[in-house]
Every structure is written in C-alpha cells, then in structure tokens.
C-alpha cells in the first residue's frame, strides 16, 4: 500500500495535505481556548477588542465541549508544545466536570483550579502558541 501511494503523486499529495490539515486542528483549538480564557481582558484591546470579547463570551458557553475536544486532540495527535498547551487549556475549560471522573477526578479538579488562577496568562500563551503553529 505504501508503495502504491508513493508511486501515485496525486494520492501522495492528498495524504500530505491531510497530515498538514489534521495538525492544524490543535492550533485552532489552542487559539479558541485561549480566547475563552482571556475573555476578561479582550475588551481592553484597541480596535477589535469589543468584538473579540463578544466572540469569547459566546464561545465560553461551549467551554466544556471545547475543553474535551482540546484534550482528545492533544492526546490523539501528540506533537509537542501544541499538545501540552492544549491539555492545559482543556483541563482549565472542563474544571466543572472533572469531579465526575472516578478515582482521579478530585485530584484533576485541584490541578485545574490551581491552573485556573493563571488562566489569563495561559490564555495569552495559548493564543500565541496557536498562531505560531499556524505560521
């Protein structure tokens, strides 16, 4: 099968494109998660601050779903820095459902609450790392 793909340039380009596009999802989730975590300070940005704050607050209504997606993508497509940031962002975003996890839930909740005290800084880092990964 590998030889068939390598000998067919069209299929080879499709596979390469799929590999590149699937990696982009972690960066996009980092940017979205970072926006949610930074919702409190986005209004202070000049020009687009108010619109970004409204977007972040709207996305915040889906924060548990986005957090689960961030953790699943980070584990499934383990890269390096992008995945670590996605796991940290995901833990902060799903802090409300962590106690439901048997055995480890309480400990993960304590970790996520501790990380949540740095949520604005982590959000800024997630946005920067996400944009950097897309470049």
Whether the CB-CB separation of 79 and 23 falls below 8 Å is answered with yes
pLDDT band at 67 (very low <50, low <70, confident <90, very high): very high
For position 12, what pLDDT does the model report? Answer: 55
Sketch the domain layout of the chain as residue ranges: 26-134
Is the Cα torsion angle 112, 115, 121, 125 positive or negative in sign?
negative
**CA-closest candidate to residue 105, choices 94, 93, 89, 117:** 94
pLDDT digit string (tens) for 9-19? Answer: 655 555 555 55
Is residue 128's pLDDT more than 90? yes
Q: How confident is the model at residue 29 (pLDDT cuts 50, 70, 90)?
A: very high
Residues contacting residue 32 through CB under 8 Å, at least 6 positions apart: 59, 66
What is the structure's pLDDT at 65? 93
Give 36: exposed, middle or buried? Use CB within 10 Å, 0-12, 13-18, 19+: buried
Residue 45 CB neighbour total at 10 angstroms: 13
pTM of the shown model: 0.78
Q: For 93-105, what is the mean pLDDT? A: 84
pLDDT given at position 1:
47
């Amino acid at each position: 099968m590998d030889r068939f793909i390598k000998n067919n340039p069209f299929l080879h380009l499709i596979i390469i494109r799929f590999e590149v596009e699937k990696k982009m999802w972690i960066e996009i989730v980092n940017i979205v998660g970072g926006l949610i975590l930074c919702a409190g300070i986005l209004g202070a940005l000049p020009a687009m601050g108010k619109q970004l704050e409204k977007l972040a607050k709207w996305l915040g209504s889906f924060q548990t779903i986005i957090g689960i997606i961030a953790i699943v993508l980070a584990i499934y497509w383990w890269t390096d820095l992008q995945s670590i940031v996605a796991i940290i962002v995901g833990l902060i975003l799903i802090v409300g459902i962590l106690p439901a996890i048997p055995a480890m839930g309480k400990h993960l909740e304590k970790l996520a609450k501790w990380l949540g005290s740095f949520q604005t800084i982590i959000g800024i880092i997630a946005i920067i790392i996400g944009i950097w990964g897309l470049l």
